[in-house]
Amino acid sequence: MSELRVARVCIDSPLPHLDRLFDYSVPAKLAPVVAVGSRVRVAFAGRLVSAIVVELTGTSTYVGTLAGVKSAAVLPSFTATGLALAQAVAARYGGSLWDVCRLMAPPRVASVEKREWASVAPPTDRYLAASQTWPLEAMQSGLEAWDGEGSARVVWEVLPSAVDPCSVAATALLAPALRVAAQGRTAIVVVPDARAVAAVERELGERELTRWTARSGGDYTVLDHDDGPSQRYGSYLAGMLGHVSLVVGTRPAALQPVPALGLIAMWDDGASVYADPHAPYPHARTVAAMRADSEGAGLLLAGYAPSVDGMALVDHGWAAHVEPQRAQTRDRVATIDVLDGQRREAEGGTGWHWMPAMAWKALQRGIEAGPVGVVVPRAGYVSALACARCGQWAECRECAASLKQAGSAATPECTKCGADQENWHCPECRFAGLKQVRQGAERIIEQLRSMAPQWSIHASTAAAGILADYAVSEGLVVATPSALPAVRGGYSHIVVVGAAVPPMAELGAEVAAMRSWINVAALARARRNGGGVTVVGHVPDPVSHVLRAWLPGQYARDAYRERAELALPPARRVLQLHGDPDVVQRALDSPLPGAGAVTGLPGVTIAEAPRGRYILAPRGTMPQVVDHLRTLQQEWSRLGAGELRIVVDGPMGLAR
């Protein structure tokens, strides 16, 4: 009698109550290829579904005859360590294992798996040679905190380059990453967008390290959504199987399974793009910190403006903070001038123009010395209008939302329902004229062409196309904040117009605004080279001080400590419950095993949230709350007793 082989699998299903392991027998013909991490097809509820093998065992608690695995991929798509990570992420965020695995691995391509994937030793000698080529400055700017084993945890407050400012300080990430890779461990470099990936690749190329391809191999892989399915899946497998010891990518790279993880280096972890928009909504920084703990790896959170969550890790003693010396800071950053209301009032009528005379003169002086930039907070033409006589906000006649205008001759339309607002009249004074309140990049460019027709003007927005770093060598660049490209030697002057913190916004909106402006200012020349930045708008006094003195790390640390006093995230964790009011209330009233309702747990606070409630809980209590609510979600899904949605550690709106 042949020995029973049982595959315990998680299946592809959106139903919470099916988020558990199911037992299937492994036929003898598939035994050579079915392994932990294999993608398989199984019969479930009368149809074939995709599944992932999580465990292989010789026994089953199922009473009856097990159905067999129908087919299997020739190569596993996950490692045991990767699946353990996926299970931990699912548990932390109250999500399904299948959803996390879907975020971890790109779609399978059978032809890629059929290639030769024999074991290949990574090129440690090439990593060692490349790691020795960094400028002395890169090795002395805080890397002395990095131990030889690469297991340090560091929040590194990076200064802009005094020679060639850039949007991502690739040397800050690659110097320690290559040191770790040279020791035979794997380093993962996580950056926010494709332009940052290109900056990292450019640095690696200058050190004669090549990107991995199926045809020729290489020194590092890139996980890039712009690649075709075969290249993406091949790069993923090359990283997972250890063909390289350096992985570069955007948010999904934080989940990449690798052998012998030594370091995750992450740039600008405060960027909103690191929060995955797909269930269960994990944050790349949290995933990286979990892996540092579970896999004994180092973690480097580097950026011009440390995040509040990063400084929380420092305050808890989990990570070290490497900050620049004040003398270094004065030498490396631009002169930043914030035009507040008092100074604009003193200038007279022109002071309240979107481009005050002081800022315009600074741009005119700057363009004689090199490229200049104008940063606009939003894209489009005009995103808000008001009555030209009384100033009343212009609202849609149908739904009362604000109005926008797509062009100079375009009819105003509703930003929400899209209804045309032809022949609009103010409900207060009956005047028909409109004035522009929130101008977008397109309208600003239109005005700048009129103000300086002799200048060469370049647009960098999502609609016009985002310019690559160093694509511009002269003239004026108009961009939205994250789209401003770096220029060789840095901008001689940058003006940020319309600077403001959104009123009644999410918790952390002020910190996010500060981070955005610091990242823009980092692209200007150092003050010793004549670089300057002018910020025009409504900037809170504390943020104005931070910008002028260049103290982003101190600001983030103070923000965390203030939140800790108020018991707000990240001092406590937050969970948002979505659903019908009665379903949400039932969840809050449901008793935990061996305890009372969620609302009665020590240190737990309930607050109103859009379409539901927020639960604020101490960090040690939240796992218990998440487990309980996930169990309820699964039970109610099975019984059809109500749909409950859970979002853990997401953004928290402020009460209105």
**Which residues in the chain are classed under CATH 3.40.50.300?**
124-328
List, by residue range, all CATH 3.30.70 domains of the chain: 573-648
Backbone angles phi, psi at 475, to 5 degrees: 85, -160
And the tokens for 326?
Answer: 């004040």
* pLDDT (0 to 100) of residue 139: 47
Question: What pLDDT does 583 receive?
Answer: 94
Instruction: Find out whether 646 and 630 touch, Cβ atoms under 8 Å.
Output: yes
- Within the chain, which residues score under 50 in pLDDT? 1, 139-142, 145, 656
Supply the pTM of this predicted model.
Answer: 0.93
| Parallel/antiparallel/unpaired status of strands 39-44 and 71-72 | antiparallel
Please name the residue that has the structure tokens 């707000």. Answer: 568
Angle, helices 80-93/622-639, rounded to nearest 10 degrees: 90
Question: If DSSP codes are grouped into helix, strand and coil, which group holds residue 558?
Answer: helix
Measured from the Cβ of residue 444, the count of other Cβ atoms closer than 10 Å reads: 22
> Could you tell me which of 596, 476, 469, 501 has the C-alpha nearest to residue 200?
469
Among the listed residues 508, 465, 103, 544, the one whose alpha carbon sits nearest the alpha carbon of residue 271: 508
Q: Which residues of 190-207 are buried (b: 16+ CB within 10 A; e: fewer)?
A: bbbbebbbbbbbebbeeb
Fold of 573-648: Alpha-Beta Plaits (3.30.70)
Of residues 43, 115, 116, 30, the one with CA closest to residue 73: 30
pLDDT (0 to 100) of residue 1: 42
Q: How far apart are CA 375 and CA 420, in angstroms?
A: 30
What is the total residue count of the chain? 656
What is the location of CATH 3.40.1440 in the chain?
6-76
Selection from 209, 176, 170 nearest residue 191 by Cα: 170
C-alpha 55/C-alpha 37 separation (Å) is 8
Rounded-to-integer distance, Cα 639 and Cα 576, Å: 23
Chain mean position to CA 89: 17
For residue 244 the two structure tokens come to 């390289």
**pLDDT, position 119:** 82
- Its CATH architecture, for the domain 6-76, is 3-Layer(aba) Sandwich (3.40)
Residue 516 phi/psi, 5-degree rounding, is -60, -45
Helix (H, G, I), strand (E, B) or coil at 162: coil
The predicted pLDDT at position 204 comes to: 96
pLDDT at 2: 59
The pLDDT assigned to 504 comes to 60
Both tokens of residue 152? 């340090």
How far is Cα 521 from Cα 160, in angstroms, rounded to an integer?
A: 9
Query: In this structure, how many other beta carbons lie within 10 angstroms of the beta carbon of residue 135?
Result: 12
| Short-list 259, 120, 129, CA closest to 187 | 259
Q: Is 466 helix (H, G, I), strand (E, B) or coil?
A: coil
Q: Do 529 and 370 touch, CB atoms closer than 8 A? A: no
Residue entry with tokens 């203030």 = 562
CATH of 124-328, picked from 3.40.50.620, 1.20.1250.20, 1.10.540.10, 3.40.50.300, is: 3.40.50.300
Cβ-based neighbours of 468, under 8 Å, separated by 6 or more: 195, 198, 485
The token duo for 165 is 């400012």
Identify the DSSP state of 575. E
